[in-house]
Amino acid sequence: MSERVFERANQRHGGLLGPEGAARADGLEEADEVPSRRDRFLVPDGVTYLAGNSLGLQPRAARAAIDDVLCAWATEAVGAHVGGAHPWLPYHAEMRESVAALVGAHPGEAVVMNTLTVNLHLLLGSFYRPTPERHRLVIEADVFPSDRYAVMNVARARGYDPAETVVILEPRAGERHLRTEDVTGFLDREGASVAAVVLSAVDFRTGAWLDVPAITAAAHRRGALAGWDLAHAAGNIPLRLHDWDVDFACWCHYKYVNAGPGAVGGAFVHDRHGRDREVVRPGGWWGHDPDTRFDMPFAFAPMSGAEGWQVSNPPILAMAPVRVSLELFSEVGMDALRARSRRLTAFLEALLDDVATRHRVEVITPRDPERRGAQLSVVVDEAVRVADALYDQHQVRVDERPPNVIRLAPAPLYNTYVDCWRAAVALDAVLGAD
C-alpha cells in the first residue's frame, strides 16, 4: 500500500482515521498483554492481510514439517512409518491432545481426518437415524451451501423428501442474524419431530456466533441430537464441546488454524457416543482397533472415540502443516488468543464506524463481543469491485461475498492494530474515490 495514502489520511482526517488513530494503533500493539506471533508466519510482502477467515497465512514451521516428511520418505521409505522423529503410523495420534484442546474436547474425542463436508457425511451416516415420527434435520437459511447439499442428500438417501424433512430456520423479518432463542423456541415447540440439529456455530457471511450450549441443551431436552459446523469457529472462538455436551462436530483447519489450502479437517464425537459400540461407524481399516488392524480380521472392530470414524490412512504430507499449526495454538492458548481477538476486533469496529460516518457502509456483524469472533462483515455497494480495489490500489487483502458484503478478519495470531488501521484507511480511500 502506498505510504502516500497514509500521508493523505493524516492530512485529511482527525479521529481514528488520522494521526491519532495511527498513534493509538501503535500504542495498543505495544501494550497488549498477548503479543502478536506475526514473526512465526510468512506475510506476503507489503500486504495488509485480513482474510484469515478464508485462508490463514503460512506458518514458517510448515515448510520444515513437510520437508521432514519428504526427507524421511527419501531416506527411510517404508521404514518411516515406524522410525524418525515423527513416524507416520501414529502421526495423527501426535495431534490427539492439541486438536482436543482447540475445540474443548477430551483427548480421543477429536481427530484430524478428511475435510469438513466429508466428515459431515460420515458423522450424519452414524447419527442421523430417522424414524417416521422423528426424521427432521434443522439447518439455518444462510448455511454454507456445502452443508445444505450434504444434509439434503443424507435425507434423500434415507428415503425422505428433503423439502419436507429439512427445516430451514430464517432470521426474523428485517433482521440479519438467526437468534438463539428462535432456534430454542422452535425446538421447544417441534423438537419431538427433529432427529438432529446441524447448525454453524459462527455464520460464514455475517460472523454472528450462536449460543452453542443453549441450542445443544434445547435439542437434548426434546430428544434430538446436536451437531455443529465449526468452520468459522475453530481457532477463532473458545469452544467447550465436551462440557457443552455436543454430540458431534466437524471443522476445517485452513482458515483460522492456518494449516494450508484444503487442509485436513477435524471431527468431534462425544465420549458417550465414542464408547458406544452400538453406534455404527463408517468402517475402514484406519478406524479399526490398531492392535489387530494388520491382522486383517473379517469383522470390523472400531477404535474407541472419534478415531473410530477414520476410514483410510492419513495423508502425511498434508497432515504436517496441521501438526505444527495446532502446536502453535497449544503454545499460546485459545483463551489468550480470544482476549487479544476481542481487543483487535473492537478497534477495527471503531475504525469502521468512523468510515461509516463518511460513506454508505454498514457493519452487520453483531456489536456484542459475545456474539462474534474476529470477523467483521461490512455491507458496501459492489463488494467485488471494492475488494479488488482494496488490493489492487492499496495491497489490503479482504474477501467478499457478493453482492454486497466484504469480510475483514483480524486474526489474533498474526494481525496487528496497525493492520486494522491500514485497512480502514484504505477502505475510506476506495469509497472516497467513487
| Section 137-145 average pLDDT | 95
| Section 128-141 average pLDDT | 97
At 14 the pLDDT is: 59
CATH match for 64-332 among 2.30.29.30, 3.20.20.70, 3.40.640.10, 2.40.50.100? 3.40.640.10
**Which grid cell is 332?**
499460546
Q: Is the pLDDT of residue 239 over 80?
A: yes
Q: Is the pLDDT of residue 6 over 90?
A: no
* Domain residue limits, the chain: 3-31+333-432, 64-332
Q: Is residue 255 classed as helix, strand or coil in its secondary structure?
A: coil
How high is the mean pLDDT of the chain?
A: 95
At 10 the pLDDT is: 46
Contact 112, 319 (CB under 8 A): yes
Q: Give the fold, CATH level 3, of 3-31+333-432.
A: Aspartate Aminotransferase, domain 1 (3.90.1150)
Element (H, E) at 266: strand 266-269
| Section 414-420 average pLDDT | 98
For the CA atoms of 232, 329, 417, 399, what is the dihedral angle to 10 degrees? -30
154 Cβ contact list (under 8 Å, min separation 6): 121, 124, 125, 128, 137
Domains 3-31+333-432 and 64-332 share a fold: no
Q: Is the pLDDT of residue 251 over 90?
A: yes
